[in-house]
Structure 1
Amino acid sequence: MPTLSALYRYPIKSTAGEALDRATVTEEGLLRDRRFMLARPDGSFVTARRYAGLQRVFARFDGEQLFVMHDDHPAVSESRHAFARQPFQTGVWGDEFPALTTTLRLDAWFSRIVDEPVHLLWLGDRSNRHRDSIGVRVSFADGYPLLLTAEASLADVNARTDGSHVMAQFRPNVVVADSAAFAEDGWQRIRIGDVVFRVDKPCGRCVMITVDPATGERRPDGEPLRTLGRYRRQGKDVCFGQNLVAENSGELRVGQGVEILE
């Protein structure tokens, strides 16, 4: 049986991942995953697709306190009680919805990181973004609440390239071990612990996977996107990983079995 080998969440969209031993699954994804996002004054969202160095920002949010740090900037900590919480219209890939402002201090900190004026936005305890196409509310994630990847699939990519790629480049929430390479392509429903997931759609990849998470810089050779484009293309998309929708809430723990229901 495949097993759950790793869990990751990203408190702020496009910043570094946080490895977890256990996590709570909600309708919107892992608890406290992608609850914050950067946006320009006009509401357009800001990601590491353009500002690859955002992946060198480490964030932690315990539900009350947000802590952010970067090697080249003094760390900042703010309580959610200090957030201004003013409605701010924004959007992610065509979904338009209101979020909430945080603090001028956080805005200024991130504006220095990306070298342009930005606001750090918060979803609040409940996202105002409902995706009718999948029937659930979603965080600031690109389009789905959760992303699954498999260790064997990454090993296959590494066997076809220089072998240096790491799972952090693909920014998954759920990582599976002990499966065949790309076996996840054939899964339709799975159960991990008490949580059942619908395996909804392959994840189309972009230039983000060419960013080295350790340096926050893009690889000049365009890998692994270049190699994936030769053998993992489905229509217009270059695919790696599967988007998940949870059918119920519950707890996940690293080491649990992954049961293939369909």
Structure 2
Amino acid sequence: MKISKLYVYPVKSLRGCSVASATLTAQGLKYDRKYMLVRVHTQPDGSVTYESQYVGNVDVLCLFTTSFLPNDEEPHSIRITYNEPTGAPAATEKAEKPYIDIPVAADYKQLETVDLIIHLAHCIGYDMGAACEEFFTKYLGFPTKLVYVGDSTREVKGNVAPNKMHVTGTTDEKQTVSWSLYIYGLVVWLLGYLVGSSEVGSTSEKDEDYRIHFSDCAPLLVTSEVSLEEFNRARKESEKEIALDMSKTRPNIVVGPSEAGDMSAFEEDFWGELTMRNLKQPKDSNEPKILLTSNCGRCKSLNVDYDKGKQQPVSDQMLKRLSDMKRRVDPGHGYSPIFGRYGFIAKDSVDMKVRVGDLVEVSKTNEERTVFYWPGLSAGTKPKKS
């Protein structure tokens, strides 16, 4: 197998950039989802709250494209372009599309902060200012700020992090885990105090916390080219259903076959770890590893027509087709069908590079599918709508 495509999404929920290579960071591919749009809600008492925006809930976000300038190898800025929906009246055919440029890494220390909650996990965003607010408010039609993640990170809830895969939603197990960690920490501290060793209690990869930026649940999403082909084969040709483009699934790493027959559709459900190898490097060199922990449950963002910025007609809706293929294979996601796996960069793989064309080996597999658990997102934990 090999990496067939790499995608970076500089602004969460806007269209991404296809890149030839990417550097792995603790929070995902470099430059990925460092910015996010938030809707500004002014309450009757004058207080202000901020709501993160997602394609699927705000379909027109797909009309914004992003690109790295001058290139994706050594970018210094990101260009965000607004594209009129297909069929909308345009001023002139040759009119330049409206855009705004932002830095790949903002100087955020002096920026005002915005408190954010994304899937019950708190973080801070740095307000990118009036020019960005004016640009996005104009085309979205409601007060909108662009925020930068800066040095802020979010907790990975539930059992999605590699060192929390044992966690479940039952109260007894959560209490057992909590007390076990407390007792373990106390024992380690006492041992360190008694023997005076700085090495006792040193943090291993299993004990280290994994943190994320603005990504939903994990730093990476891995998908399969072969699974997409299988999905598109399920179309009813008589009804002229359209094919799903991989970009709509918003992956970071797309894995494809090196030769015919070396992948089967949806085998990624059982992948636990991937190892990448660059053919130009010696075999004994360090090879980046991706730890795959959870399935990705799909929402109605798959149904968005990227040319029109709105939901597709029922006959062309991808979410229903995926459900019809019996892809509701994770009880943790309830009725949401599964496509792709959430992943984390192994601690010793941070700062390594991956490239389109790199060989991919499944270095660990799971005997059974993992079951997703994230309070507020997983089945049985979602807040009831008032």
The counterpart of 1:155, out of the listed 216, 225, 229, is 229
Distance 1:28 1:246 in 2: 8
Distance 1:176 1:65 in 2: 28
Name the SS of the counterpart of 2:337 in structure 1: strand
RMSD, aligned CA: 1.9
Aligned to 1:55: 62
Shift in alpha-carbon separation, 1:28–1:82, aligned structure 2, 3 A: closer
Name the SS of the counterpart of 2:123 in structure 1: strand
Name the SS of the counterpart of 2:255 in structure 1: strand
1:129 aligns with 2:154: yes
1:104 aligns with 2:130: yes
The superposition leaves residues 14-59 of structure 1 with CA deviations (integer Å, 9 ceiling, x where unpaired) of 1011000000111100001011111122121112122212112112
Higher Rg of the two aligned structures: 2
Distance 2:54 2:139 in 1: 12
Distance 1:163 1:186 in 2: 28
Aligned to 2:80: 68
Distance 2:39 2:215 in 1: 17
Aligned to 2:327: 232
Q: Per residue, is there more strand in 1 or in 2?
A: 1
Contact 2:122 2:154 in 1 (8 A): yes
Contact 2:38 2:146 in 1 (8 A): yes
Structure 2 unaligned residues grouped into runs of 5+: 41-48, 70-74, 85-96, 162-208, 236-240, 258-262, 278-286, 365-386
Distance 1:85 1:130 in 2: 23
Q: Percent identity?
A: 26
- TM-score, with structure 2 as normaliser: 0.64
AA aligned opposite 1:228: L
Distance 1:181 1:191 in 2: 19
Aligned to 1:90: 116
Contact 1:147 1:173 in 2 (8 A): yes
The counterpart of 1:242, out of the listed 341, 348, 358, is 341
State the shift of 1:229 in Å. 1.5
Contact 2:8 2:17 in 1 (8 A): yes
Contact 2:122 2:155 in 1 (8 A): no
Aligned to 2:276: 192
Name the SS of the counterpart of 1:40 in structure 2: strand
Aligned to 2:252: 173
1:223 aligns with 2:311: no
Number of residues paired by the alignment? Answer: 260
Distance 2:10 2:117 in 1: 17
